[in-house]
Structure 1
């Protein structure tokens, strides 16, 4: 189901228009599973009238099958655009593709692809588009899977850099793997505009939940809708799963307590969609682990008490720190955990809570017991919701440290009465830092309020504004006008 992604959809349409003007822009959509990447890409495909092949690389088992499937989707899309009536189910073999290519006057190019290599595919693709007078955007979903094909990235980069008739929209759920693919040391550095897909803003989350419930004839209090956002953090899959549970339970008017019950049922009962989603993520992430049981043991330790140092984890495992360090390096690449300073945390606090509780074997009957439910709610707030705030504080500390390393400015948290700043430094003048670590761009109002507060406290100062999700256009204009230095994770080399 496609949910409101106006800004991201606009970026894709803008890139497509640029391609048609002869200015190639590749886009990488990065975000966790079920956050809406595929729906966004397919919505774009639905809205444009042109050659837009789509391929999910998780369904591709070998390089040979990739070459065939890629060629089939390209020819199929071209055939549709030129008005041919054809079904994808009729294109099952190379012979089928050759018959279609003959009708398109592309038989020579397709034979070359069939008998050639990956490099041949990308070279002939440009020739096919040139010959048919088409521009194409090829969507490659779950792009991180190409690391399983030896030499794929180097070959694709060498050929596609010269192409002018095609742009690539790629997506990936393995965030760290995607960032490695696009990192400075690798072939695709600087070749893709990155778009990080995160949870929906609070207003959109509440609107999605309210609309979903109203369609089923269910009313919800404002506090209940606020709690849905608080628990799901705007993750569309979680929001819809929670709403479906509320509908199935038959509530006529949803209150906060009902939301807690439905959320915990979704999270901790084996039939819950959120439970099954987290179980899949957990098992899929560990499927490539060479020491699966030990990796699982480490995660269980962190589920009970996160923020541990390497030495503390090694002591609990009764293993040498050097050996445990290698296990942790693997887990850091799975997106399950992250490292802040010298301590290790779960990336997704909900995963931590789920893991800690599911290994206790909680039943749906127990979830209906009022005292047990209250205990779970209290622990959910302490270990999940409170932990999110603590992680935000850790992120602020990391940003201040990066500012010290890059700009040689030692920012410290500042508070005087009711006035607070994320960072202030006194050197040859006053330096003030604002940090917005959230899932939506900093707005004009955010910047305006920051400037007003700085001027009220210090008169004049050198101002830095860090925004995890970038800035709106009006916010950028105000920053430039007032001399506020804008910073994003890319500027500080953090993710």
Structure 2
């Protein structure tokens, strides 16, 4: 039982990590092009809970002896924002993450931190103070976004050039990349700026990943033909576990679970092959008891609040209109005008709510129709209505 990780555990040890040999080989082979001065850029896509972050951290561990590996969780930008999320928040996180990675790799950055202070600020005279009757000018300074950005984005190349005899290259992992959709600025122009810097760098590799639908417009902004990285980025989708892989995985990691054939088929149908749900549900099942289809259905109903705690927390933070939009989609996908009609409002009145729900990856737009992103979340809402006669507003 100790080898079955928690569903939300993304930092797996060697005994917990399973399969993904093809994905690891593909990503490593492309990232190692950084040794040859190429600048590989990879976008990992895949549904939420499929294991993108765990995969990134696994590759980070495997490569950090040869490379300087920087891991950024873009959700940490929140600590820098005041009223809104800006490019400055991104750059501050980039700098902090980079310096931390250098410290962990015993790369000395004292000189860079001193340079950062003087190169990224505007200085001007404030006042005179007397020291032993000698007038001393006192300056005051303020961070300059343009200077700070230029310094931070060029830092990876400077560090590589200084340590090229010690490291094969610099690899930068940017996780939760979908957070950029919350920037209070034009996201596409920011992506083009990042691309303009990356394309001139050598021996630096980038890998982006985030919890977003493969239909998300951000993916088009990044990797589409007219996107910032169109033609220059490898888009790799991380798939869910197959029926056979899931069975092999649980036979190895949770041999105490005694499924009948129909019981396992129902388990797979419930979890959709998504590692997050597989691990969470499997840990909740009783050991050394027969798990047939009927028992799995019963256990699944009891387990839903635990499986969906991350989503139900989000649900209760939504406005009344946002909740009503989601419940309007429980039975089937709808067009925007159809949602507005069900809510008895104008189509324009739900624009901001639809955008926010997409940004939070609670709904997605597919062929002109909005639908609930997570099918298990949809199942929970249906069950709540069937049992209580109303949705959990």
| Smaller-chain TM-score bracket | 0.7 to 0.9
Distance 1:210-1:263 versus aligned 2 partners, 3 A rule: farther
Deviation at 1:14, TM superposition (A): 0.7
Distance 1:264-1:322 versus aligned 2 partners, 3 A rule: same
Q: Is 2:295 the partner of 1:252? A: no
Aligned to 2:312: 279
Secondary structure in structure 1 of the residue aligned to 2:200: coil
Distance 1:177-1:314 versus aligned 2 partners, 3 A rule: closer
Distance 1:184 1:42 in 2: 29
Deviation at 1:171, TM superposition (A): 0.8
Gaps of 5+ in 1: 87-99, 287-291, 363-495
Q: Is 2:197 the partner of 1:163? A: no
Deviation at 1:47, TM superposition (A): 1.0
More helix by share: 1
Aligned to 2:218: 178
Aligned to 2:363: 337
Q: Is 2:273 the partner of 1:234? A: yes
Q: How does 1:74-85 map to 2 (within 5 A)?
A: 74-78=98-102, 80-81=104-105, 84=106
Maintained 8 Å contact 2:48/2:211: yes
Maintained 8 Å contact 1:143/1:172: yes
Q: How does 1:29-178 map to 2 (within 5 A)?
A: 29-48=44-63, 49=65, 50-61=67-78, 62=80, 66-78=90-102, 80-81=104-105, 84=106, 100-102=108-110, 106=112, 109-111=115-117, 115=121, 116-133=147-164, 134=167, 135-147=169-181, 148=183, 150=185, 152-175=190-213, 176-178=216-218
TM-score (norm 1): 0.59
Distance 1:33 1:153 in 2: 23
Aligned length: 330
Distance 2:332 2:96 in 1: 48
Maintained 8 Å contact 2:70/2:172: yes
Deviation at 1:253, TM superposition (A): 2.7
Maintained 8 Å contact 1:30/1:171: yes
Distance 1:327-1:66 versus aligned 2 partners, 3 A rule: closer
Secondary structure in structure 2 of the residue aligned to 1:60: helix
Aligned to 1:16: 31
Maintained 8 Å contact 1:52/1:137: yes
**What CA RMSD, in Å, does the superposition of the two structures yield over aligned residues?**
3.1
Q: Aligned to 1:349, which of 362, 366, 375?
A: 375
Q: Is 2:355 the partner of 1:302? A: no
Maintained 8 Å contact 1:30/1:178: no
Deviation at 1:330, TM superposition (A): 5.6
Distance 1:312 1:69 in 2: 41
Distance 2:323 2:270 in 1: 25
Aligned to 1:266: 303
Maintained 8 Å contact 1:144/1:177: no
Deviation at 1:76, TM superposition (A): 4.3
Deviation at 1:121, TM superposition (A): 1.1
Maintained 8 Å contact 2:42/2:207: yes
Distance 2:366 2:208 in 1: 29
Q: Is 2:45 the partner of 1:6? A: no
Deviation at 1:266, TM superposition (A): 1.3
Deviation at 1:177, TM superposition (A): 5.0
Distance 1:200 1:282 in 2: 27
Deviation at 1:22, TM superposition (A): 2.1
